[in-house]
């Protein structure tokens, strides 16, 4: 296709989107996404959310329209949504282990929730109910079954209460962490609808990519870092209205603060932003430098990052680091000059932009698929940036003589876990880390030694390219191995994934 024909094609697509009301807020054609994201966004569901942020009450007042497309070959008489904020409503059911609660709630327990005030499908009220372990699953009963390729328009109005909690969802002294905050459609796959609760270990989220248009009205003193690109920020009588757009992303998260300072750098045409708190400039510069270097390395080794920006955000957050599409949260304490883990954690979360954000997976039943590969990708960063000797030193220190060595002690104590266990089989974070991150990373190191360095990178590139914007499984990874090497690796993976030995 020549340049003129390509331009006519893109303009035609944009015109269709405008006609459908999907490109609101006056977005100009020249601000459109690149061709890859535009192609990936075609046929996806749309989330259009308008939120008013009240930091004084720690509340969001929201309206939401979901254009859900049935991209499956079955009829749906019900639709299921996660209501993750309700996991924080009942102190006895919050997604924290008992030993974490003091860190999560340093000022004592504080509830969070989501209340649905109104719900309509295709302009008509419908029956719905809210159930699940912590009232975190919304079931919508459709008047007419939704056939393959058809779409349903779901309109909602709801209120979100943020807890005074230093976890993924909540707020502390400096930041409001607004993650897993809106009703999001559950994934339908070969197992049916995935309606798992918000487990206290791992990243218990599983979602399809979708398109987002999100408007946030916040007091003008607040700065917002978000998954989406800020298309427009306008003043409105003491408030700022932030209009964000994100195509083909797996989730939409944002962090707000009155205290943010911001640095930025362009790498490979991608804008990397570092949001940091007063007194943390050195750490903010370090996080920016490391994220930019990681993007450059992973672009070369895995495949190009498809989005226009990445935000690295210092947060009131006690868990170390957490990934969301185009945004990562980093524990503010890691920015202390005496702390040695800022680079490692920043790079790990950046690697998740490839292994989670772009290539997704079921993080509940196959958590190792993104976490183990991301952990090993962090080792690859050190090798590619500082040389093979440093890469080996990091692998030995963190994985071989670190997590795997600790795991050996656990093994002798009678504790048995396989890499491929679902997150709900783990009863503490330490064991999960040693098995999924440590033992899992060693699996990829063994694979690399078996196939050779170049073929190993070829495998990751094939896996990435074939599964962009999809939810992959272990079978897709093994398929990439077979295509690159010409032989089956099923026994290799089965032996290591199912092994109870350390």
Q: What is the DSSP string of 420-487?
A: T--GGG--SHHHHIIIIIIIHHHHHHHHHHHH-HHHHHHHHHHHHHHHTTEEE-HHHHHHHHHHHHSS
Statement: residue 474 has pLDDT above 50: yes
In terms of Cβ atoms closer than 10 Å to its own Cβ (0-12, 13-18, 19+), residue 354 is buried
Of 462 and 417, more confident: 462
> For residues 298 and 460, is the Cβ–Cβ distance under 8 A?
no
> For residues 411 and 434, is the Cβ–Cβ distance under 8 A?
no
pLDDT level of residue 5 (50, 70, 90 thresholds): very low
| Confidence (pLDDT) at 415 | 64
Statement: residue 13 has pLDDT above 80: no
Averaged over 360-385, what is the pLDDT? 98
pLDDT level of residue 490 (50, 70, 90 thresholds): very high
On the CB side of 268, CA atoms within 13 Å amount to 18
CA distance 352 to 358: 8
| Confidence (pLDDT) at 410 | 62
Tens of pLDDT, residues 414-443: 567 899 999 999 999 999 999 999 999 999
Length in residues, the chain: 502
Averaged over 15-36, what is the pLDDT? 43
Averaged over 307-327, what is the pLDDT? 97
> For residues 160 and 85, is the Cβ–Cβ distance under 8 A?
yes
Pair of tokens at residue 62: 């929201």
Averaged over 108-134, what is the pLDDT? 97
| Confidence (pLDDT) at 171 | 98
> For residues 173 and 72, is the Cβ–Cβ distance under 8 A?
no
Pair of tokens at residue 86: 């309700």
Strand, helix or coil for residue 494 = helix
Statement: residue 32 has pLDDT above 60: no
Statement: residue 21 has pLDDT above 60: no
Pick the closest to residue 27 from 244, 228, 241, 218 (CA basis): 244
Cβ neighbour number for residue 144 with a 10 Å cutoff: 11
> For residues 275 and 255, is the Cβ–Cβ distance under 8 A?
yes
Statement: residue 111 has pLDDT above 90: yes
Pair of tokens at residue 297: 């390395």
Averaged over 370-391, what is the pLDDT? 98
Statement: residue 77 has pLDDT above 60: yes
| Confidence (pLDDT) at 457 | 98
Supply φ then ψ for residue 260, to 5 degrees: -65, 135
CA distance 288 to 286: 5
CA distance 468 to 50: 28
Tens of pLDDT, residues 53-65: 999 999 999 999 9
| Confidence (pLDDT) at 411 | 58
pLDDT level of residue 339 (50, 70, 90 thresholds): confident
Statement: residue 128 has pLDDT above 60: yes
| Confidence (pLDDT) at 129 | 97
In terms of Cβ atoms closer than 10 Å to its own Cβ (0-12, 13-18, 19+), residue 484 is buried
Long-range contacts of 185-190 (CB under 8 A, 24+ apart): 185/45, 185/66, 185/68, 185/79, 185/80, 185/81, 185/82, 185/210, 186/80, 186/81, 186/82, 186/137, 187/362, 187/471, 188/72, 188/76, 189/362, 189/471
Averaged over 238-242, what is the pLDDT? 97
The number of helix segments (H) and strand segments (E) in the chain equals 13, 25
pLDDT level of residue 402 (50, 70, 90 thresholds): confident
Statement: residue 477 has pLDDT above 60: yes
Averaged over 100-124, what is the pLDDT? 97
DSSP 99-112: GGHHHH-TTS----
Nearest 5°: CA angle at 316, between 354 and 218? Answer: 90
CA distance 286 to 156: 42
| Confidence (pLDDT) at 149 | 95
Q: What is the mean pLDDT of the chain?
A: 92
CA distance 415 to 408: 10
On the CB side of 348, CA atoms within 13 Å amount to 18
pLDDT level of residue 501 (50, 70, 90 thresholds): low
CA distance 129 to 56: 30
Pick the closest to residue 495 from 478, 480, 482 (CA basis): 478
> For residues 200 and 243, is the Cβ–Cβ distance under 8 A?
no
CA distance 375 to 390: 16
| Confidence (pLDDT) at 400 | 87
Statement: residue 30 has pLDDT above 70: no
On the CB side of 202, CA atoms within 13 Å amount to 32
According to DSSP, the residues that pair with 177 across neighbouring strands are 170, 255
Nearest 5°: CA angle at 325, between 321 and 329? Answer: 25
| Confidence (pLDDT) at 241 | 98
> For residues 284 and 332, is the Cβ–Cβ distance under 8 A?
no
Residue listed under structure tokens 């390509």: 6
Statement: residue 119 has pLDDT above 50: yes
CA distance 347 to 98: 29
Burial profile 468-483: b = 16 or more Cβ within 10 angstroms, e = fewer: bbebbbbebbbbbbee
> For residues 246 and 325, is the Cβ–Cβ distance under 8 A?
yes
Averaged over 285-297, what is the pLDDT? 98
Averaged over 168-197, what is the pLDDT? 98
| Confidence (pLDDT) at 12 | 40
Averaged over 189-193, what is the pLDDT? 96
pTM of the model: 0.92
Which of 179-188, 345-354, 396-405 shows the lowest per-residue confidence on average (mean pLDDT)?
A: 396-405
């Amino acid at each position: 296709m020549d340049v003129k024909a390509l331009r006519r094609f893109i303009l035609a697509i944009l015109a269709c989107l405008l006609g459908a009301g999907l490109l609101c807020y006056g977005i100009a054609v020249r601000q459109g996404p690149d061709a890859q994201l535009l192609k990936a966004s075609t046929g996806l569901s749309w989330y259009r959310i308008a939120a008013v942020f009240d930091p004084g009450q720690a509340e969001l007042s929201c309206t939401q329209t979901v254009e859900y497309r049935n991209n499956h070959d079955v009829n749906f008489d019900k639709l299921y949504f996660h209501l993750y904020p309700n996991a924080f409503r009942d102190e006895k059911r919050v997604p924290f282990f008992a030993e974490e609660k003091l860190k999560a709630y340093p000022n004592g327990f504080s509830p969070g929730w989501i209340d649905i005030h109104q719900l309509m499908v295709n302009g008509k009220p419908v029956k719905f109910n809210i159930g699940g372990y912590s009232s975190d699953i919304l079931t919508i009963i459709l008047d007419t079954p939704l056939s393959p390729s058809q779409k349903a328009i779901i309109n909602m109005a709801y209120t979100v209460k943020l807890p005074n909690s230093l976890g993924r969802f909540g707020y502390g002294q400096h930041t409001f962490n607004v993650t897993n905050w809106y009703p999001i459609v559950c994934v339908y796959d070969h197992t049916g609808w995935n309606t798992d609760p918000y487990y206290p270990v791992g990243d218990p989220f599983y979602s399809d990519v979708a398109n987002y248009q999100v408007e946030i009205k916040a007091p003008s003193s607040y700065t917002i870092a978000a998954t989406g690109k800020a298309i427009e920020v306008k003043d409105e009588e003491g408030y700022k209205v932030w209009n964000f757009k994100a195509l083909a992303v797996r989730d939409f998260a944002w962090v707000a603060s009155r205290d943010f300072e911001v640095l930025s750098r362009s790498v490979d045409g991608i804008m990397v932003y570092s949001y940091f708190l007063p007194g943390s400039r050195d750490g903010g510069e370090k996080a920016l430098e490391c994220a930019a270097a990681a993007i450059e390395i992973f672009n070369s080794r895995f495949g190009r990052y498809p989005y226009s920006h990445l935000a690295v955000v210092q947060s009131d957050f006690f868990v170390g680091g957490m990934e969301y599409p185009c945004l990562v949260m980093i524990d503010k304490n890691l920015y202390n000059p005496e702390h040695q883990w800022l680079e490692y954690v920043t790079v790990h979360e950046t690697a998740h932009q490839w292994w989670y954000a772009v290539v997704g997976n079921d993080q509940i039943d196959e958590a190792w698929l993104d976490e183990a590969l991301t952990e090993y990708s962090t080792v690859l960063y050190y090798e590619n940036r500082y040389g093979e000797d440093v890469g080996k030193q990091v692998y030995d220190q963190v994985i071989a003589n670190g997590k795997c060595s600790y795991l050996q002690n656990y093994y002798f104590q009678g504790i048995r876990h396989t890499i491929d266990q679902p997150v709900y089989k783990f009863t503490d974070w330490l064991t999960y880390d040693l098995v999924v991150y440590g033992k899992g990373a060693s699996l990829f190191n063994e694979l690399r030694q078996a196939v050779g360095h170049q073929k190993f990178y070829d495998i990751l590139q094939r896996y990435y390219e074939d599964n962009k914007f999809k939810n992959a499984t272990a079978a897709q990874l093994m398929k990439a191995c077979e295509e690159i090497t010409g032989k089956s690796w099923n026994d290799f993976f089965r032996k290591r994934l199912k092994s109870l030995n350390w």
